[in-house]
Amino acid sequence: MSEDAAYVDKGKEFKRDTNYITTRITRDGADGYPVEPGRYRLIAARACPWANRTIIVRRLLGLEDAISLGMPGPTHDQRSWTFDLDPDGKDPVLGIERLQQAYFARDPEYPRGITVPAIVDVPTGKVVTNDFAQITLDFESEWVDYHRDGAPDLYPQALREEIDAVNKRVFTEVNNGVYRAGFAGSQEAYDAAYDRLFTALDWLEERLSKQRFLVGDTITEADVRLFTTLARFDPVYHGHFKCNRQKLDEFDALWGYARDLFQTPGFGDTVDFEQIKQHYYIVHKDVNPTQIVPKGPDLANWLTPHGREALGGKPFGDGTPPGPVPQNERVTPGHGAG
């Protein structure tokens, strides 16, 4: 089961299970898992917005050589994400067919959903953590010795209080808000979710009409967390989740902001629109019983000029963009924009 593979509960409001394996990988190894390059494998499906965050942050910080990446395919059954895109249907490092196997190696009676992202301890084959919010924060603060030269500070100490406040509202009202609408079990629950979502999007539109990035004048953790929802809005959430007051490209500031990030190395080059659509429209059978995947929308507009430079700020501050995407981690040709 994926982080977002919830099911419509008739008459009920969607509630996300937020109980995760909260073991952390830290410099002091307090939880038994010290920072150690080459020891851990990030399992992150491109289709999942929560996993997409970790792929973006890993790339922005240049942690590719320190933490390897395994990518399940976009669809899965009730049991688990599977490595169906890999030769012989097995992760080439862990040697497993299902992510479930790594969870059961940690706890043979693991009772919750098998979610991505997850970090696996390669020597033991056990999941260390699936706490998606903490994973990126730890990439930023615990893995600093292995950041690339010119890596941005995505969680600057002076801005953390504001970043945390923005992240809280964005998670509650936008990241999770689209699911609240999509999995609403009654008209009343849907109407309330729809209103909450667009109230928050209007707040973001106003905020981003005056500043290039969500917090400060460079990209931060807050931008990463909002971006992965925006990237999925027109291809999925507008239609599939009935979040259809307007499309993302009908906002002014939000649409410019989303394109600005998409065209920044580390963001758009991690997005696979085809896998995104396959995941939502095939896996969510309660919402889309036919499992038909729409051909549209045309996504070439993600590459059009955004004009956000006029607001000032620099994506990487005094740092530099990440280099080219490693060959074995590039999005399949034709699955991105354009």
Burial bucket for residue 90 (CB in 10 Å: 0-12, 13-18, 19+): middle
For the chain, the domain total comes to 1
pLDDT (0 to 100) of residue 189 = 97
d(CA 265, CA 199) in angstroms, rounded, equals 30
Mean pLDDT of 273-278: 98
Instruction: Quote the pTM value.
Output: 0.95
pLDDT at 241: 98
Which pLDDT value is given to residue 19? 82
Give the structural domain span for 233. 158-329
Q: Considering the domain boundaries, does residue 89 fall inside one? A: no
pLDDT at 278 over 70: yes
What does the pLDDT read at residue 77?
85
N-terminal to C-terminal alpha carbon distance within the chain: 31
pLDDT at 206: 98
Question: How does residue 79 score in pLDDT terms, banded at 50, 70 and 90?
Answer: confident
In a domain, 189, yes or no: yes
Q: CB of 296 within 8 A of CB of 255?
A: no
Mean pLDDT, range 277-301, rounded to an integer: 96
Which pLDDT tens digit goes with each residue over 2-43?
A: 444 455 565 567 776 668 999 999 999 999 999 999 999 999
CB 216, CB 156: distance < 8 Å: yes
Binding site feature residues: 81
In a domain? residue 20: no
125-178 tens-digit pLDDT: 999 999 999 999 999 999 999 999 999 999 999 999 999 999 999 999 999 999
Give the integer Cα–Cα distance in Å for 292 and 78.
Answer: 19
Active site residues: 48, 179
What residues form the annotated binding site for glutathione? 81
Provide mean pLDDT across the span 87-112: 96
Task: State how far Cα 110 lies from the chain centre.
Answer: 24
| Cβ-Cβ contacts under 8 Å for 42 (sequence gap 6 or more) | 54, 55, 58, 67, 68, 69, 70, 117, 118, 119, 135
Residue 307 lies inside a defined structural domain of this protein: yes
- Are 234 and 169 a contacting pair, CB within 8 Å? no
**How much is the mean pLDDT over the chain?**
95
What does the pLDDT average to over 279-283? 97
Residue 186 has pLDDT above 60, yes or no: yes
In the chain, what is the greatest distance between 2 CA atoms, to the nearest angstrom? Answer: 55
Residue 266 or residue 10, greater confidence: 266
* Two tokens, residue 39: 């020891």
Write the CATH number for 180: 1.20.1050.10
Percent of the chain at pLDDT exceeding 70:
95
Distances (CA, A) of 24 to 28, 133, 137: 10, 11, 11
Residue type, 136: T
pLDDT tens digits, one per residue of 239-263: 999 999 999 999 999 999 999 999 9
Q: Is residue 18 one of the residues assigned to a domain?
A: no
In a domain, 32, yes or no: no
> Tell me, what DSSP letter sits at residue 275?
H
